[in-house]
Structure 1
Amino acid sequence: MSRTVVNRVLLGVVGAVLLGAGVLVLAGGLDLYRRLGVHPPEWWPLTSPDQPVVSTRSRERWVASAWWWPTVIGGLAVLVAGTAWWLLAQLRRSGLSSIAVPTPGVSGLRLRVGARALEEAMESGTVVLPEVERAGVRLVRAPGHPRLRGAVRLRPGGDPAALVEHFEDGPRADACGSLRLPALPAELRIRVLQAAPAEPRHGRRGRRGRRQSRVE
């Protein structure tokens, strides 16, 4: 599981917890428990509009301390700022939407190629190998120049060295030539699937023996 997926799952869990807490507070503030005939337990934080979220005993215990309000306000501010930054970081696209193509000798012309079109072309050029089961390519931002990130899954017995050579001489070279780029750095992650374990002979003999006994 990638870091992006983990971050989004954690963000979803935190959002679900905050949403559930907000629904509970709203239900108490709107007096829905009494209207619906629901009897929450005694330790429930908020059951009616007249009941405060923080009990009087808790307020009197901590409010007298000089550090209470600065700590609460500062902690909530840090929590809100951190959550907002985390959310924006997940929504921000790390990949490129398009890539500029040099046009030497032609002034006033700006040519851009869609990143997804380039990614699909490189994926199609990678999966032509018989040993490749799945390939994914993404164009991402990098300081000074774009960079390719590829993930390829090979079938059992696949040759990673042959795949790298094919990727360098095929899809990557074609992309550099078509886009007139001097270089297009790439990071290629290769995963070779393991072959299924062979079935034990004694198991096959046992099944054959059972089948023979039934036939007889």
Structure 2
Amino acid sequence: MNRETVNRLLLGVVGTALLVAGVLVLAGGLDLYGRLGVDPPSRWPLTSPDQPVVSARSRTRWTGESWWWPAVIAGLAVVVAGTAWWLLAQVRRSGPTTVVLPTPGASGLRLRLRTRALEEAVETEAVALPEVERVGVRLVRGSGQQRLRAAVRMTPGGDPAALAEHFETGPRTGVLASMGLPELPADLRIRVVAARPEVTGRRHRHRGRRPRVV
């Protein structure tokens, strides 16, 4: 499971929990149960506007127990540690930092190449292709193997099919062959910016509009 999937899963769980809690508090605060004639289940957290979200009995139920405060502190520590781990995971690279280059005829020699150097080599070759405005390349680890992930932004009116062919036969194949690397799968994402229509005659003002991206 990659970092993007974990992020989406965590955001989905947290968002769902906050949405459910907000709906329950809103229903009780607006007295929707009484207006609709609905009887909420027993021990429902909030059933009327005059009822506190957390009752005094619930707040002081276990405060006299010897295990209560250590359990609260341990729970908060787990939450803080998990949040810090998640933040550090966003900064850390999801892929390898170096790539091992083959060294035929030199047994016992290990030659390593920085991942960023490989990415820059592919970017330099790709940005020189026609109709390319911007290129971003990352080497990631997915499904148990390394993959190139490239995002290319094309000029208006560009041909994505031709660019995909040029990327395969040009930057990717050339860089891998020059470095002696084996076959390396690649994911190519192409964005084409639609050209703005030419306006003749009276000039119209369009507020808040941006170029459409397809």
Q: TM-score range by the shorter chain?
A: 0.5 to 0.7
Give 1:155 deviation, angstroms.
Answer: 0.9
Give 1:106 deviation, angstroms.
Answer: 1.3
In structure 2, C-alpha distance between the alignment counterparts of 1:135 and 1:76, rounded to whole Å:
43
**Does structure 1 residue 165 correspond to structure 2 residue 169?**
no
In structure 2, C-alpha distance between the alignment counterparts of 1:173 and 1:61, rounded to whole Å:
68
**Does structure 1 residue 203 correspond to structure 2 residue 202?**
yes
Give 1:187 deviation, angstroms.
Answer: 0.7
Give 1:100 deviation, angstroms.
Answer: 0.8
**Does structure 1 residue 86 correspond to structure 2 residue 69?**
no
Counterpart residue number, 2:211: none
Counterpart residue number, 1:101: 101
Counting aligned pairs with the same residue, the percent is 61
The DSSP-based 3-state class of the residue aligned with 1:203 is coil
In structure 2, C-alpha distance between the alignment counterparts of 1:112 and 1:66, rounded to whole Å:
56
Alignment of 1:46-65 (within 5 A): 61=60, 63-64=63-64
CA deviation string 1:113-166 (max 9, x = no partner)? 222222111111111123111011112224554211100000110111111101
In structure 2, C-alpha distance between the alignment counterparts of 1:121 and 1:203, rounded to whole Å:
47
Cα distance, 1:203–1:66 mapped onto 2, change above 3 Å: farther
In structure 2, C-alpha distance between the alignment counterparts of 1:144 and 1:72, rounded to whole Å:
39
The DSSP-based 3-state class of the residue aligned with 1:171 is helix
CA deviation string 1:14-61 (max 9, x = no partner)? xxxxxxxxxxxxxxxxxxxxxxxxxxxxxxxxxxxxxxxxxxx99x94
Cα distance, 1:176–1:144 mapped onto 2, change above 3 Å: farther
The DSSP-based 3-state class of the residue aligned with 2:202 is helix
Counterpart residue number, 2:126: 126
In structure 2, C-alpha distance between the alignment counterparts of 1:113 and 1:121, rounded to whole Å:
12
Larger Rg: 1
Give 1:171 deviation, angstroms.
Answer: 0.8
Q: Structure 1: give runs of 5+ residues left out of the alignment.
A: 11-56, 206-216
Bigger proportion of residues as helix: 1
Cα distance, 1:65–1:181 mapped onto 2, change above 3 Å: same
Counterpart residue number, 1:147: 147
Alignment-mate amino acid for residue 185 of structure 1: P
Alignment-mate amino acid for residue 139 of structure 1: L
Which one is further off, 68-77 or 106-115? 68-77
In structure 2, C-alpha distance between the alignment counterparts of 1:144 and 1:105, rounded to whole Å:
28
Q: Structure 2: give runs of 5+ residues left out of the alignment.
A: 12-55, 205-214
In structure 2, C-alpha distance between the alignment counterparts of 1:134 and 1:67, rounded to whole Å:
58
In structure 1, C-alpha distance between the alignment counterparts of 2:66 and 2:150, rounded to whole Å:
56
Give 1:73 deviation, angstroms.
Answer: 3.0
Give 1:191 deviation, angstroms.
Answer: 0.4
In structure 2, C-alpha distance between the alignment counterparts of 1:67 and 1:196, rounded to whole Å:
67
TM-score by length of 1: 0.59
Which one is further off, 83-92 or 131-140? 83-92
CA deviation string 1:64-95 (max 9, x = no partner)? 47885365234313312311321231232223
The DSSP-based 3-state class of the residue aligned with 1:146 is strand
The DSSP-based 3-state class of the residue aligned with 1:139 is strand
Counterpart residue number, 1:210: none
Cα distance, 1:66–1:135 mapped onto 2, change above 3 Å: same
Alignment-mate amino acid for residue 94 of structure 1: S
